[in-house]
Amino acid sequence: MLASIPDDPPILVCADLQVEYLTPGRRHVILDGEAATVRCLELLTLWRTNFWPVMHLKRIAQAAWFNPASRLTDWIAEAKPRPGELTFEHPLPSAYSSSRFVDYMSNIRNVRCILIGFSLDETILATAVDGFHRCHRYQVVGDAVACRQPGTGDAAAYKHAIVNVLGNFATIHASAELVRTSGATAV
C-alpha cells in the first residue's frame, strides 16, 4: 500500500522587502517596519529550513517615484533571495504587472501562496485583488505585513482598515498560527 503524499507546501511570497521602506525620512517609509521585518524573517527562516518554495517581489518604478538606480531599492540584507528562490520585479503595485510573474502563476497547477512583506496598501493589496480575479487564492499574514504612514489619521486604524478590505480577497492569518501549523493552513 502506498503512503499518501502530502500537498505541496504553499509558496511564501515576500513582497518588497527593500531598504527604501525602512529608511527614515523617505517618502515610502513603513510603519512598524522593524516588527514586520522580524516576523517576515521568522517565516522566511521556516520556509528555508524546510526547503519550501520562496518567491520574492521587488518594486521597480519610474525614477520620479521609486528610483530603480538607487541602492535603496536593494533587498534588506537578511531577506535577500538565495539561489533557487524565484524573483520578480514589478513596475506597478500589483505583482501581476510583471509579465514573468503572470506567466509563472498561470503555469502553476495549484496556486497556494502566502503573502508577507511591505507595501500592504499597494503591492500586497493589489496583488491579492488581481490574483482573486484570476482565481488565485492568497493568504496574508496580518502581523507580517506593514504599510506606509498615511497622510492623516491614526496609523494603526489605517492598517486595520486595509487588512479588513484585504480580507474580502484573501484569507488573513497570524504568523504564530502559520508557525504552529508549519505552514499547513488551508488556502
In a domain? residue 185: no
Place of cell 484573501: 170
Place of cell 514589478: 90
Domain encompassing residue 27: 11-180
pLDDT band (50, 70, 90) for residue 103: very high
Domain count, the chain: 1
CATH of the domain at 32: 3.40.50.850
- Beta bridge partners, 116, equal 14
Give the pLDDT confidence of 109-143 residue by residue, as tens digits.
Answer: 777 899 999 989 899 999 999 999 999 989 999 99
Give the pLDDT confidence of 25-44 residue by residue, as tens digits.
Answer: 777 777 678 888 999 999 99
In a domain? residue 6: no
Provide the pLDDT for residue 2: 35
Average predicted confidence (pLDDT) for the chain: 84
- Beta bridge partners, 117, equal 15, 145
In a domain? residue 5: no
In a domain? residue 123: yes
In 18-147, beta strands by DSSP E: 54-59, 86-90, 112-117, 137-145
